Amino acid sequence: MSGTAPAVDYQAILDQIWLEVAPRLGEGKVASYIPQLATVPVAQFGMAVYRLDGQMFSIGAAQTRFSAQSVTKLFALALAYTRVGDSIWQRLGKEPSGTAFNSLVQLELERGIPRNPFINAGALVITDILASCFVGSEIALLQFIRQLCGSTAPDFDLKVAESELKTAHRNFAIAHLIKDFGNLHNTVSAVVRSYCRQCSITLSCEELARAAAFLANHGSMPACVPGGTQILDASSAKRISAVMLTCGTYDAAGEFAYRVGLPAKSGVGGGIVAVIPGEAAVAVWSPGLDASHNSALGTYALARLTDLTRHSIF
């Protein structure tokens, strides 16, 4: 067949998704194990699509900032990759865990080598790598995210960081276990404190979609971004996207790939960022979580997006 497929009308598709989602606002449960997140009103939804030509399409609360939580693990991994490359995989794996994101059992059985960089154990190792590369690793990560989204607005939510640190008993236990196996080089206290601050970074859907666009563009900032630069080589960007697909949505990665069909990273703040290779980055936020700790409406919206656009990797 000859000819070029017509461009997708993303705004019309997002408007259709909004009509479907609006009557369902309030579905899911907010993350209650972090006290500050438990106060977030559940009936909220935003979504943004950032095309590589610079066009932004959005609906709902797409400019409202939220606690990115585990979504920041994606950018921490990318920043670590810019510093140490494939040597990351000497200290952690790239396989789905099949267990809870904060499990200790698997970590002990596998002698302090986390299954992947997106469970808490793996994220703590990535934080440790960054702490060896930077003075104030969480500040370096925040600056990296600001660079990617082209805005100085993303920042730490210190109330969330404090709330998270006060309830970080399991993360301290995970870090101590990794340290006992010799896979943590900095102090447990420094790593966990930095990690809690990292997770408190706030982003809007529009900012998050812009920040992830370099992965959709094979490692380079979109050409439409003034002074756009190569963040990662294409091979490294491909590898990060692969780990997103297999490990990015907690222990529901298989179900998410089945329903949505895009590399994605979720967080318990209700955010999900996904990549349409060569086309766009997508961010969605709704704080009500499903049983797997992924945004209930966010997952639905992304599934509808790929159904309606026929843009998935499958």
Known binding residues: 70, 120, 164, 171, 195, 250, 268
DSSP, collapsed to helix, strand or coil, labels residue 224 as coil
Whose structure tokens read 């026929």?
310
Q: Which two tokens stand for residue 127?
A: 């934080």
What the block records as the tokens of 90 is 């000497």
Put residue 30 in one of left, alpha, beta given phi > 0 → left and psi -120 to 50 → alpha. beta
For 95-135, give the secondary structure using H, E and C.
CCCCCCCCCCHHHHHCCCCCCCCCCHHHHHHHHHHHHHHCC
Binding-site sequence positions for substrate: 70, 120, 164, 171, 195, 250, 268
The number of residues making up the chain comes to: 314
| Residue among 300, 275, 297 at smallest CA distance from 286 | 297
Q: Give one DSSP letter per residue of 174-217, joined into a string.
A: HHHHHHHTT---S-HHHHHHHHHHHHTEEE-HHHHHHHHHHHHT
C-alpha–C-alpha distance, residues 108 and 178, integer Å: 8
